[in-house]
Structure 1
């Protein structure tokens, strides 16, 4: 929107200071004049005398006082006006200098450089609070942009892999028309399925981070039972004992996203478990004003530095890479973190001393 240029803030403050000083001086002179008039008669004698006990007040007439007072008052008002303009300009410049630094930082950030910080060292005031808030915003924005760039690079790499495999299979088939066609179709189908799963996971992750979904009352205990029932064949195939315990835990959110969240947690607990004889426990309940979901599984011991990266997209960790149809695409816990964040909850991952992982999800409870 094109707008006509207006007065600068410094000029407005200068005029405000000068105007205030001028008005204050005028009022002071008026008060002085009115106060003096109380002691002067309305006639025009050269001298007056009023006796208050032993005190005698002597003064000129009104006409004589006016001839002497008016020029001096005019000079005083002109001086106050000039002094107010000059002093106001200097004071306004000093007051607005932090705002100039903030404006320069905003322009720098707008040009694409997010590494610049104001780092104002002045005393705590409104400008310092604005500066600190802007620096904090730049910190979060720079971190978010770096995360999105890393995510885009990883997603491109993950999507390129199945496409490259498909092209290689097709090139081999083209050079060897007598090859096993059924095997080629089966391998292409597996690669294509993985690419579709990855694309759907990326879309779901994007949707969960936006948080603009319809909300309804959801009981996490029922969601946990549904997810466990779906993954029970996988658990039995791997000889994993899957238990769901606890009580009702209602929250407000998207039933579809919360089901995907619990399903990802349970599937992750089943897949990344002991070769056989492992356990997965899903527990729901209330803790004050929060609804709690805990998913605990046995497995190999996990170093703390690995656990802290498991919610990052495409971070699989060497100890947790498995093959097979349920190996996943490296977005399971990232989707869980996005769903929890979109529902205003918290996600905590802790390595069990005996091996395995304990995942705790806390969401705002709904009565």
Structure 2
């Protein structure tokens, strides 16, 4: 945005300091003048009896005025010069942190997000501004790095089905007598995986952009819907699902929160024990808001591996099943949906194997009582 040039902040502060100093000087001289007038007599003593001569030994008010005005003018002029010089110096000292913040902003605008202000000294308004700016730069740098990593991983994941498709088509073109039934089946599987990956990427982008309408949602009902959807898969794999659903109201997108619950439950079913696995789903209200916990049996997961499972396209090698490997975005979507709703996601390996995943979301505000 083009703006007309104006006075600098330093000059404005200088004029403000000098102006205030001048006002204070004028008021001080006015008080001195009033004080002097109170103790200086007039040329004629109005209280003396008529006809009596009065001897005036001190200066008159007119003499005092002639002597006071030039000295007061010199004092105000000196005060103005002192106020301008001192105000310019003080304003420069006060605005030094702002200059550093401005320089850091220009560096960041040039594309370098690694630069930090790192303002020294005790906490004040400028330090709070500098610390907030550093924190913003840190978040931006982390998000940009994550987006770059995500773009690279997404390109790699999408290139794989396209390369497989191209290979199958090349083989079919070179061998026209080959049975096309097997080719169609393999192309269908590859295409289905590409569609699944694309839909997951779109859902992840929607959660990251937070482009949804917030409405009251009960996490216990979300958990019930997820269980009804995935119950056939759980029965097929011999996984038992146990639910303990207390009311857990929150605000958010029902569709995204349902996807969150479905992803958590699907992950718990697929990466469970080969036989006699169990999944526990609990909902309720904790000190920090609504809570959804999905706990499952399974192979032991190292803490350092658990912390990386929420990253896009990250899979624990010991947890991958060949028939349901997924696209590597299940927990990444859960993390994005949780953050978009202002919540927290916690992954804790269970001592006996498996994972315990807890989602905490802000509780929905209590509705006002109905008027009678």
What TM-score comes out, normalization by structure 1 length? 0.92
How far is 1:247 from its partner? 2.9
SS at match of 1:38: helix
Distance in 1 of aligned mates of 2:284 and 2:38 = 84
Q: Which runs of 5+ in 2 are unaligned?
A: 46-55, 367-372
**Conservation of the 8 A alpha-carbon contact between 1:240 and 1:276:** yes
Q: For 1:155, what is the secondary structure of its paired residue?
A: helix
On the 8 A contact 1:291/1:364 being kept in 2, the answer is yes
Say yes or no: does 1:32 pair with 2:32: yes
Distance 1:265 1:183 in 2: 34
Q: Distance in 2 between matches of 1:260 and 1:215?
A: 15
User: Given the superposition, is the C-alpha separation of residues 222 and 111 from structure 1 closer, same or farther in structure 2, using an over 3 Å criterion?
Assistant: same
Q: Equivalent residues in 2 for 1:254-269 (5 A)?
A: 254-269=253-268
Pairs within 5 Å for 1:125-144: 125-144=124-143
Partner deviation per Cα, 1:264-306 (whole Å, 9 max, x = no partner): 1111011101112211222223335633222111111000000
Cα distance per residue 1:208-266 (max 9 Å; x no partner)? 22223223333322322222222222222222222323333333322211211111111
Unaligned runs of 5+ in 1: 46-56
Q: Supply the distance in 2 between the matched residues of 1:365 and 1:101 (Cα, whole angstroms).
A: 41
Distance 1:123 1:286, change over 3 A: closer
Q: CA deviation at 1:108?
A: 0.5
Change in CA separation of 1:180 and 1:58 when aligned onto 2, cut-off 3 Å: farther
- Which residues of 2 match residues 236-315 of structure 1 at below 5 A? 236-288=235-287, 290-315=289-314
Distance 1:251 1:22 in 2: 59
Tell me the residue number matched to 1:176.
175
Superposed displacement of residue 184, structure 1: 0.9
Change in Cα spacing, 1:124 to 1:291, as seen in structure 2 (3 Å) is: closer
- Against the structure 1 CA distance between its residues 21 and 359, is the aligned structure 2 distance closer, same or farther, given a 3 Å change threshold? same
Counterpart-to-counterpart distance in 2, 1:170 and 1:68: 108
Corresponding residue to 1:345 among 343, 346, 366: 343
Partner of 1:7: 7
Secondary structure at the counterpart of residue 316 of structure 1: coil
Q: Could you say what the CA RMSD is over the residues aligned between the two structures, in angstroms?
A: 1.8
Label 1:335 to 1:60 Cα distance change in 2 as closer, same or farther (>3 A): same
Give the C-alpha shift of residue 10 in structure 1: 0.8
Alignment check: 8 A CA contact 2:277 2:298 kept = yes
What is the distance in 2 between the residues matched to 1:247 and 1:82? 74
* 1:39–1:283 distance in 2 versus 1, CA, 3 Å: closer
Query: 1:185, 1:159 → 2: CA distance?
Result: 20
Alpha-carbon contact 1:348-1:359 (below 8 Å) kept: yes
Alpha-carbon deviation of 1:350?
0.8
Q: CA deviation at 1:143?
A: 0.8
TM-score (ref. length: structure 2): 0.91
Please name the residue that 1:75 is paired with: 74
Of 325, 328, 345, which aligns to 2:326? 328
Q: Is the 8 A contact 2:348 2:356 kept in 1?
A: yes
Q: After the TM superposition, which of the residue ranges 159-168 and 238-247 deviates more from structure 2?
A: 238-247
SS in structure 2 of the partner of residue 190 of structure 1: helix
Give the aligned partner of residue 23 of structure 1.
23
* CA contact 1:208–1:342 (8 Å) conserved in 2: yes
Post-superposition shift, 1:360? Answer: 1.5
String of CA shifts for 1:128-176, please: whole Å, max 9, x gaps: 1111111111111111111111111111111111111111111111111
Matched residues, number:
355
What's the secondary structure of 2:39's corresponding residue? coil
- How has the CA–CA distance of structure 1 residues 62 and 216 changed in structure 2, closer, same or farther, with 3 Å as cutoff? closer
